[in-house]
Amino acid sequence: MRIVTLVAIALLAAGAARGDGDPASCSVDYSYVGAFSSTLDHCRRSPPGKNSSDCCSALLTTFGIGLADYLRRSGGFEFADLPTANACLKSFQAELDSHGTGTDFVRDCPFEPPMFVQSPICAGVMNISDWKRVVAPDLDRALERSCGGDLSSALRCQSCTDDVTRVVLELQGLSNSTSVGQQCVYVSCLYAAGVVNKLGPKEPSTAVCVLGLTPPSAGAPGGSRGTDAKLYIGIGVGGSAIALAGALIACIFLFHRRRKKRELVQSSLVGLSRMPNLGLIKFSFEEIKAGTQNFSSKNFIGEGGYGRVYRGVLAKRGNSEVAVKVMKASSKENNAEFLNEVEVINRVRHRNLLYVRGACVHANGPDSQHILVYDYMPNGCLQTYLSSGTLSWQQRRKIAIGIAVGINYLHNEVEPSIIHRDIKPSNILLDEDLNARVADFGLAKISPEGMSHLTTRVAGTPIYMAVEYALYGQCSDKVDVYSFGVLLLELMSGRRALDTSQENPVHYHIVDWAWSLVKAGRLPEIIDEKIRESDPAAIVLQQRFVLVGILCAHLLVAVRPPISQALKLLEDNDTIPPIPDRPPPYIFAGHTLVDGEEVNLFSSSSQTSAP
């Protein structure tokens, strides 16, 4: 410790001696420290010599706000030179002294000034120009969408950290090394907080969500937005499933600081809570039971093919709202299936997918009670909005593209790819901003890349199933494309996939109904009159969405585009390929209820006209 202190003093002296005139000054204003006084309590409770890991991690994370602010104004991820680093450390220490932490940041932790001087970090990134050169534009835009605004909402925070994780994995891949993971987390979080977020890194919600700071004390200076500290606690727990693992990593790094001091600085500066895929939160059954008021009927949300869903409030986690899914048939023989679902959901994170917060396995006699805990979606599922017909054209467009983006992520950005197999309105949840979240991966299975395969189990809702899957069990990514096409037509027409409201013993599927109108030259009639009449200027784009839906839901597998192409057709003005005529429509005569939908086996008909 003494040697390091002497080195630090020598470096400070050397830095001062380099200048011919006045020593370098620091442009970072550290007065924000007072707004996060609760983080400094770590040092008051556990001063160096007792348990310095908590103290030093808290100080480094607080110092990270200043580095993010420096990036925002200068364009560099670290200080330009050693004199500047010396000056900023001295300024930061003066602010700490004013709050009575009793800790010398350089001496007691210790972290030498050269650690904060600019040098190539992850994938060679040193400044914003390097970032723009290295990071893919679509990932950069995703960060801007999800991390750009107020992150005080747990859902917005989760979307932001999900996209930060995607960038981290991308940068780590470009570095061709898994050993730079912490450095890539460091760079990505500083960029999200310092450059992307419009409120800036000193805004409490940004610091808590992106940098992993302890929530600010109630009434502390700088918390001018008046956000309840309990909400930040909810963000800290729900926004990242790996904060606990981060604390363990902090201890490990502090005990091995001689080996990787720089990595320690970088990981601690972002709260050690953004390393991807370090595990789920394991909830106790008692906490789940209390949060749902003993699974009260008042908290009941709905029931799907795999279980009952309840709204819950977790008192110990900032009163954060969750959706609790109690699985059906939770015998011990189903443990493997349950754990597979949890594993799949946990490792797949995207702003248009519903993220699972944690899980619970509870012994119940000879059986096991399996429970999944999700973030609560305040606007429920898409099915409710389709029934009410209250969505505007812009909202429908946003939701359709969001669903396509989510499916595309499952098909093309996950290794190995994932086929959902049950895309339907009740499995599309909507957050507080009506962003689509593809939910329920209980039926999802990992498939070999680029190959179809046969499965002995057909899972899903028949009226959204592709024929080759419903009749023969043949499963490929085109199964999800078909379901998306049906859903897109529902969204555009305002009709149900199988409308049984008419007094007609024969009920036509929505795709056959829509195609018959297209063939008759009556395509505009497919579009819900609520959006067709409210925005006449958008009629061309609305017709495009209808045609993409028909193309995706074509009976012939080879005609259906991959979801990536369907997404491009929705977002761009590319020419829609010619749509071949469909085989005779499939009609539904007798009916049965499955998961709330009236369905029956497919049967062929030579009739070609729709009601």
Q: Which residues are 321's β-sheet partners?
A: 313
Does 530 carry a binding-site annotation? no
Phi and psi at 596, nearest 5°, equal 85, 0
Q: Choose, from 422, 431, 477, 480, the residue flagged as catalytic.
A: 422
Helix axes 539-552, 563-571, angle to 10 degrees: 170
Q: Which among 147, 431, 446, 141 has a CA at the least distance from the CA of 455?
A: 446
Helix axes 52-74, 261-269, angle to 10 degrees: 80
Please report the sign of the dihedral spanned by the C-alpha atoms of residue 284, residue 289, residue 295, residue 299: negative
**What is the spatial distance between Cα 160 and Cα 239, in angstroms, rounded to a whole number?**
9
Q: Are 404 and 487 in contact (CB under 8 A)?
A: no
Q: How far is CA 42 from CA 47, 52, 338, 445, 537, in A?
A: 8, 9, 39, 44, 59
Q: Which among 469, 427, 420, 473 has a CA at the least distance from the CA of 447?
A: 420
**What is the spatial distance between Cα 504 and Cα 511, in angstroms, rounded to a whole number?**
18
The total of other beta-carbon atoms located within 10 Å of residue 446's CB is 14
Q: How far is CA 454 from CA 33, 54, 468, in A?
A: 59, 53, 10
DSSP state of 364: E
**Is residue 445 helix, strand or coil?**
strand
Helix axes 181-191, 154-174, angle to 10 degrees: 130
Phi and psi at 134, nearest 5°, equal -95, -45
Residue 422 falls in the annotated catalytic set: yes
Q: Please name the helix (run of DSSP H) or strand (run of DSSP E) that holds residue 588, with its range, or none.
A: strand 586-588
Instruction: Give the annotated binding-site residues for ATP.
Output: 325
Catalytic machinery residues: 422
